[in-house]
Amino acid sequence: MKVLVTGGTGLVGTAIKSIQPDWVYLSSKDCDLNDFNSVQTLLQKINPDVIIHLAANVGGLFKNASKRLEMFNSNLLLNYNLLENAYRLNIKRVICCLSTCIFPDGLNRVLTENDLHLGEPHISNYGYAYAKRMMEVQCRLYNETPGYNYQCIIPTNIYGPHDNFNLNDSHVIPGLIHKAYLHSTEMNDGPFVILGTGLPKRQFIYSHDLANIIVRLVLENITEPLLICSTPVRYERTILDIAKLIGNLLHIQNVIPAEREIGNNDGQQIKTATPDRLLTLMPDVTFTPIEVGLEKTVYWFLQHYPNVRK
């Protein structure tokens, strides 16, 4: 079985490669997914049996909020190019990666797969969220053709080695690690101040845990069309909790929020999602404790700085 992974040099792609090094890993240097004909040529050449589609124009809260149109257009285009070409070439198994940030805002309950389209996403993720939602709709429509299994997984906040640690465009954990590192190296005696109130709650999944789940989906032929991939609800943590754990790893004792009132720097307050469907399909799946995962990620960052993506 030949498996192609787009976004193969990114956070999750590199984790999958550590488990399945013989699969084919595609980077942006290998093919411009924004070009329909280039994607067609590449897929004809590789002729995979399965595609794991991880490539996306991604970023954290501030990139999503400030570049909503770009995030919508670019993700809509590259997803269409990949999926439509796969469909035309009779590639019948594709696994696509969504995100819990695309769920409706304000449902005020634990989210399940059935909630994905029940309302508007949070304004900060508007463009990115709708592009990803459309990919889920697209997959459902392809699955109306007998024999096709186009599947969407919905991970919670992913973190780990090989992440993007850009101070402006990263997700919360790599951004906090980079900022905390700079704070510690500047010999700053003042507190480490994080943006926002630190009150929003998030579930975090270590990249290698998600990679193991994806590999199992392929090898065990689990084709559930929509699947939340997250740690259990009880592992949810506030952003301030995470910042303090990172601070401790970098010998920073005083970590405080910048704001007392909820504002634009907080984003969505709660987007708790249940992995019950996943745990039914994989009752033996395990998750790396956040303290262990953060320690591994910080260690990797320190070993590879200043050559990390930033």
- Angle (CA) 156-160-165 rounded to 5° is 100
**Catalytic residue of the set 87, 128, 159, 181:** 128
Are the C-beta atoms of 103 and 141 separated by less than 8 Å? no
- Exposure string over 78-103, b if 16+ CB within 10 A, otherwise e: bbbbbbebbbeeebbbbbbbbbbbbb
Are the C-beta atoms of 285 and 230 separated by less than 8 Å? no
The set of residues, in sequence order, having a beta carbon less than 8 Å from that of 166 and lying 6+ positions away, is 174, 175, 178, 309, 310
Q: Which residue has the tokens 């198994």?
A: 93
Are the C-beta atoms of 211 and 19 separated by less than 8 Å? yes
Instruction: Return the bridge partners of 205, or none.
Output: 158
Known active-site residue 128 = yes
Active site residues: 128
